Structure 1
């Protein structure tokens, strides 16, 4: 009974301290600041009061230990000078006070400090950083992720949060221990014999000199090592993410060389770091040996001249031994501190970037009562690393009436998919105000509404369907998180995905809709992934529909069956459809032919054939339903 009560009490105590900090706070003010101190403070603010409490408790513990050394010195003097018969009568209360310090105060302070440190801070603190950094990274633009390794970004989110905790806690611990122990030692020894302070002062000067020599070098190597580690991880993750391509081309040796090049770069920083570590260890050992020898020599000389007692010698030797052990710890903590600062600085460069696409301050949600889309004088170009822009559109105008179904046709690179991405605001138009034109939905400039509401009103299926490594049910329900099981099953049936879902089993034995699909959906075929994507959009039932090669991965029989469902889905919606097979979009209300960022033809299928222009040439030159060669006979694809 007593054991169960103690277990229950300890459980409640642990839970109390574990919940003193919310590890998932609301946004703390948008993009993290670029300055190192401000960046660390941004993620530290929720736990700052507890960090100060932790430092206070650490200082009290350190002071109690120094006081214990003082008591031990007095005990030696008591034992040396007192008679056994009256010892307890004379020193009993002092011994009881020493016992209370050791048996009660130290354990209670240690318990409270451990609860604050381990239960309240150590787990919650890095999770706050991961949570806030992850939320911020989810807001980064599509272009950001096209220029980064996913593994590199995720590693920086995970490592930076942990490095922030280590940086702050180590710095606070170092400050407390150095101040309390060193000042305490100076006071205790100086009060007994001022000459005993000289070795400590000389040791401190040498210690600072060692730090000035080695720590900056360790910091530089650590920053280089953090970047080299990120490159190495990014290359390895890139290989795993594209394992099918690697095996398809039977080129594992090239991948081995690619990874080894990054590993050798990382090992170069490791070797430099370890050389510094060896030099640091030897130099510090020499300095500590000189401290111990000089304090022992002065203490023995002072005792010989009857200037100090045996208790003072005992305290001096004990404190020096303690400082010697602490100096090793402190220096390596300082080296680790700068290593963590290097990791934070490296992560800062990725995490503290302003998202390229942001909602305007106070942006309202988009309302789509009709579904009209207007592209007005649209100008856009992709920025290149040299700062130049590859111009795609230069003043394009296009209006799509509410409920109109429009097919986009053009050669590869004409801008069809780019137009869809601009509608979804994955990229912003050029310039400010009206300089780069506007995109309006029911008269509302999409740059002035929230991105979330914009994309909530647009359903999209593209040819490069990517699924989340979750269950099929979760992937389909992404289209409508509140959808019922019946609605999910109906969307699956309409997308003709029920023909394969029941046969799916993952490694954990989960079946059907509960089966997980692997990273990016690799456990499914391209056609199966596309049917799941179609089911997701069917479930979303948005008023605007974008189909970018929505059936490109399907065989003809399944495509014909799904086309019927897509036509049903299109009813009452504004539709933009892009397809290689012109026959799949020939029946739409209007076909728009884009070439070099300009609309060159527009009309129905029959009207464009009668015009005998680019569309008619592409139609005639289709082989098996695909665009083959252009009007000059050059090979191309849409």
Structure 2
């Protein structure tokens, strides 16, 4: 089988992202898929040849039946007798021998094409899903904010599976129908040109009708794929928020909303089914006309001696082999249209241009000093006013600074900009004097450890979650990190200790426990720059004290940027910046800011209960 390496997928994604006309320009979904799968062309050709050969050998037995009838009727004057075999037994022996060979070859090529097409389907869906997911990972956060998780899941799962189902059987069906039409149509004109037109007369109308149905079905199945994406989005959203649904007793409300989405999907499918279901009955009427005409006029021709009885029997058999497979075009085109609608959605995802590109400057983590500087940075989310305006900030290597301010002032946005999860509109950010846009993205993000308020734990064991990002860490290193984060004791009290499964998003653990796991993860990563984004805002006082003790250990000789609402957690920072409306309005040490009696002093008095 043809396999695609990770480097090949990466280069292909980059090519697609910049809009290579050979990949992204064709509007026809089939051509988009064909251009995508160029590395499979040898395999496709091989599968195609096996499909055609299988059909050729599948069509041979009717011809042998005609030859056998000819032997019975003419005996020493049959076709085989003209080859020099006059004995009737010898003639039937030859026919029997050819039958065995043909059936064996038909079976061999059926096995071959089944295996080739189905493995090809598996290879393409495997690589397409990985390509789509890898490209999705490289898109900026704004892309995900504008789309639902369920809709993206529908593309990565259901749409790609739809394409797989077509490649499993639909492609072979089309090839075999075309082969049947060419071979049997040619045989009719060779054996009985006077009545051949009766057999082939409906074919142009069937093909025309098939393409007409295809055009009518295309928009209907595009709508079906859109509706299933919305339905999946609703399901994912509700399953993620099941606690909220239960706590607000809104089960009936959510069922009604899901019913609405499911009904829209059902109605969309019903429109497509209404049209596609009419295809086969209409084709059957055309076939009836052709078969009846051949039965009548072909029989008269045989009775008058214009064609042999063997030829007449072969024609009657072949006309069914020619026309009845055309009824399957309805199902085949149905599969095709579903697959092409899905292909468009997947290819549109792959063609989404990358807004954030990696630089080419390599910066090993062990060489990073940790000096960070923002220079006149301005940033706004899409279609919104600037969140950060002409902001400048310099953090010396090894220092701990804090940024405080009201909700929405832009504090967390600075973290996202430093990690290049978004791109600034103007200004520059540097790490050790190097513009971060020039750095390789992975190098930049490897040297930054983030502990946020919204801790995400993956479904897996505690040990796996601590070692996430440091996948080669030993058990001793994991335990050491947990001890520094003051997580070791509560982990040992769990049923399976470090092998305890935390559940999806870590739902089996408390907020404080999840936070300490996140800190242990950052400790194990051992980054030269540590960012604490509201790391203690959602925990109780006892947990906060434990987290603060662990943070005192890991911030030593490390550049630390702490973002906090609780001023008590950052009072020992070397410098505190107060942020309002995307700008720094105050800065200084804790005592200096209190002496200024400004915004910080006011916040401190409120939190300290002094007013």
Q: Given the two structures, how large is their TM-score scaled by the length of structure 2?
A: 0.92
Please name the residue that 1:326 is paired with: 325
Q: Map Cα deviations across residues 124-166 of structure 1 (whole Å, 9 max, x no partner).
A: 2311211222221121222222222223212201233334445
Distance, in Å, in 1 between the alignment partners of 2:6 and 2:189 is: 49
Indicate yes or no: 2:449 matched with 1:468: no
Deviation at 1:41, TM superposition (A): 3.1
Please name the residue that 1:93 is paired with: 94
Please name the residue that 1:11 is paired with: none
- Contact map agreement 1:408 1:416 (CA 8 A) in 2: yes
Please name the residue that 1:589 is paired with: 574
Distance, in Å, in 1 between the alignment partners of 2:199 and 2:488 is: 79
Deviates more, 1:295-304 or 1:174-183: 174-183
Please name the residue that 1:53 is paired with: 46
Indicate yes or no: 2:62 matched with 1:66: no
Alignment CA distance shift 1:196-1:289 (3 Å): same
Distance, in Å, in 2 between the alignment partners of 1:309 and 1:504 is: 87
Distance, in Å, in 2 between the alignment partners of 1:390 and 1:271 is: 44
Please name the residue that 1:158 is paired with: 157
Gaps of 5+ in 1: 1-19, 431-435, 506-510, 629-638
Alignment CA distance shift 1:461-1:126 (3 Å): same
Output aligned runs, 1:134-213, within 5 Å: 134-167=133-166, 172-213=171-212
- Contact map agreement 1:459 1:540 (CA 8 A) in 2: yes
Please name the residue that 2:113 is paired with: 113
Q: Map Cα deviations across residues 478-515 of structure 1 (whole Å, 9 max, x no partner).
A: 1422211111011112222223323435xxxxx22222
Distance, in Å, in 2 between the alignment partners of 1:144 and 1:107 is: 50
- Contact map agreement 1:422 1:429 (CA 8 A) in 2: yes
SS at match of 1:383: coil
SS at match of 1:481: coil
Q: Map Cα deviations across residues 451-492 of structure 1 (whole Å, 9 max, x no partner).
A: 111110001101011111122111100142221111101111
Alignment CA distance shift 1:62-1:97 (3 Å): same
Q: Map Cα deviations across residues 163-220 of structure 1 (whole Å, 9 max, x no partner).
A: 4445556664245223321111122211121132212332112202322432222222
Please name the residue that 2:400 is paired with: 405
- Partner of residue 608 from structure 1, selected from 593, 596, 609: 593
SS at match of 1:553: coil
Distance, in Å, in 1 between the alignment partners of 2:455 and 2:244 is: 17
Please name the residue that 2:82 is paired with: none
Output aligned runs, 1:414-425, within 5 Å: 414-425=409-420
Please name the residue that 1:562 is paired with: 547
Distance, in Å, in 2 between the alignment partners of 1:93 and 1:479 is: 70
Distance, in Å, in 1 between the alignment partners of 2:171 and 2:270 is: 30
Gaps of 5+ in 2: 17-22, 79-85
Indicate yes or no: 2:534 matched with 1:535: no
Distance, in Å, in 2 between the alignment partners of 1:142 and 1:221 is: 31
Q: Map Cα deviations across residues 258-294 of structure 1 (whole Å, 9 max, x no partner).
A: 2111111111112112211332232122112112112
Q: Given the two structures, how large is their TM-score scaled by the length of structure 1?
A: 0.88
Indicate yes or no: 2:375 matched with 1:394: no
- Contact map agreement 1:23 1:127 (CA 8 A) in 2: no
Deviation at 1:66, TM superposition (A): 2.2
SS at match of 1:426: coil
Please name the residue that 1:13 is paired with: none
Deviation at 1:24, TM superposition (A): 5.6
Alignment CA distance shift 1:586-1:597 (3 Å): same
Indicate yes or no: 2:494 matched with 1:504: yes
Please name the residue that 2:83 is paired with: none
Alignment CA distance shift 1:320-1:587 (3 Å): same
Please name the residue that 1:81 is paired with: 74
Distance, in Å, in 1 between the alignment partners of 2:167 and 2:542 is: 62
SS at match of 2:579: strand
Distance, in Å, in 1 between the alignment partners of 2:591 and 2:47 is: 78
Output aligned runs, 1:19-30, within 5 Å: 20-22=1-3, 25-26=6-7, 27=9, 28-30=11-13
- Contact map agreement 1:199 1:295 (CA 8 A) in 2: yes
